[in-house]
Structure 1
Amino acid sequence: MAGELRDNRGRGEAEWSWPTIHPEGRKFGLIAVGIALVVLLLLDWEILGWPLLALSAGVFAFFRDPERVVPQGEDLVLAPADGLVSLIVQVAPPPELQGPDSTGNPGLGPDPVTRVSIFMSVFDVHINRAPVGGTIRRVAYIPGKFMNADLDKASEDNERQHILIERPDGRAIGFTQIAGLVARRIVPFVKPGDIVAAGQRVGLIRFGSRVDVYLPQGTDSKVLLGQKVIAGETVLAQIGAQQLIEGVSQ
């Protein structure tokens, strides 16, 4: 049940259930089903109709919105997206997230920080979630290209949307939704001034893409290159914690 408190000592209840379909995707699924039924029933083209019907199920699955159990902790930074950790690099935050805005709200500094990039394939859940709780201070949409989102330069060249969240302690965390080869629409659920909880749904990107997270100064990633992460559940970092973590693929 959504909103139920659960812990690592067995408190709460857990059961499997079918994920819901986000309203943003229902129209696409229904359109796909309608086309499949026309081809299958009216035109009697079974060789094309059945694959189209299977594709319709895939469209609904793409927009699935499963419940997540969000870890609670003041200094935790959670993964904002499902997918593969494809890059962990030291870079300066994008200019759109740097410095104060027109109202004086602080942004990120110009110095290099750790950026963790999460690549979402078409098979991943594409609902994005807030990595921390706080107030949305900035939502900046930048039009651009639609190159492979797995490439490093996609952070600067592709269509993207920057979001800055100010925590209650005044520390700001920025992340960027990046469109990819197939993705053609970044859909925000929030606007400046909104207050969000860690793990809350903040947007989606249609059909394959990437999300970059800019960790605060003095903070290392707790996930490894090549690791699969889950939005709203995987702890990406703990603010102020620096530690080399190694893993072996097997």
Structure 2
Amino acid sequence: MRNNNVPIAVEGLPFVAGAALISAIFIIIGWKVVAAFFIVVTLFIIFFFRNPKRVTPANEKAVVSPADGVVIYLGPAREPHLDQDMMKISIFMSVFNVHINRVPISARVVDQFYRPGKFLDVRHESATFENEQKGLVLETANGIRLVVVQVAGLIARRIVCYPTIGTMLRRGERYGLIRFGSRLDVYLPLDTELQVKMGDQTVAGETILGVTA
């Protein structure tokens, strides 16, 4: 999987290079104020695409957060793709969060879907049905299925998702990202023992969202 052992996500390198080049041009022509602005922009882009290491909990039944952010929804919901009732956890990522997404549980990708759509504020529930999104249906070795969905937001306009159907994924490994602010939805079986609550801060690959039966 991409972005292993690199300090900055490879998807961010063109943005870093572009901003750094503009900074250099303005430094050369002597426009110090404008150059300073683009240096700040370059540093922010580096900060946004940072790719820190994480330590995943050992419990194989634990479902870890796929994203850094804050829990903005937690409760039963109808999962549109599987068309069944599940426990939904939505995690909002601001532009200040790490945007590398991580696999919530060791499983095989048995299906995936992409829905084009709008770019509404992801803190509104209507974004679940109207925004652009990319989802993976995962199945564990003992047959448990869950769904993880990357939802593009008001600023985010580019969803990156590496796995394809049939890919075996390890809990905590990097599997994609969304550029510049967005949301991750995780749909779990209704009998999952939840470990988070509304308003909790999550750390991708480390925070346990719940424990499967």
TM-score, reference length from structure 2: 0.94
Alignment counterpart, residue 205 of structure 2, candidates 232, 237, 240: 232
Query: What is the root-mean-square deviation in Å for CA atoms of aligned residues?
Result: 1.2
- Superposed, 1:11-90 pairs within 5 Å as 20-42=7-29, 44-90=30-76
Which residue is 1:169 aligned to?
142
SS at match of 2:17: helix
Shift >4 Å, 4+ stretches = none
The C-alpha deviation readout for 1:23-46, integer Å capped at 9, x for no partner, is: 11111101111011112222x221
Letter paired with 2:33:
I
Task: List gaps (5 residues or longer) in structure 1.
Answer: 1-18, 99-109, 241-250
TM-score, reference length from structure 1: 0.81
Alignment counterpart, residue 187 of structure 2, candidates 211, 214, 226: 214
The C-alpha deviation readout for 1:83-114, integer Å capped at 9, x for no partner, is: 0111112111122xx1xxxxxxxxxxx44221
Counterpart Cα distance in 2 of 1:225 and 1:124 = 18
| Shift, 1:179, TM fit | 0.3
Which residue is 1:134 aligned to?
107
Decide which structure has greater strand share: 2
From the CA coordinates, give the structure whose radius of gyration is larger: 1
SS at match of 1:236: strand
Alignment counterpart, residue 169 of structure 2, candidates 196, 199, 202: 196
Which residue is 1:93 aligned to?
79
Give yes or no for the alignment of 1:145 onto 2:118: yes
Task: List gaps (5 residues or longer) in structure 2.
Answer: 1-5
Asked whether the 8 Å contact 1:118–1:212 carries over to 2, the reply is yes
Alignment counterpart, residue 156 of structure 1, candidates 129, 133, 144: 129
Asked whether the 8 Å contact 2:55–2:206 carries over to 1, the reply is yes
| Shift, 1:220, TM fit | 4.2
The C-alpha deviation readout for 1:153-174, integer Å capped at 9, x for no partner, is: 1111100001111101111111
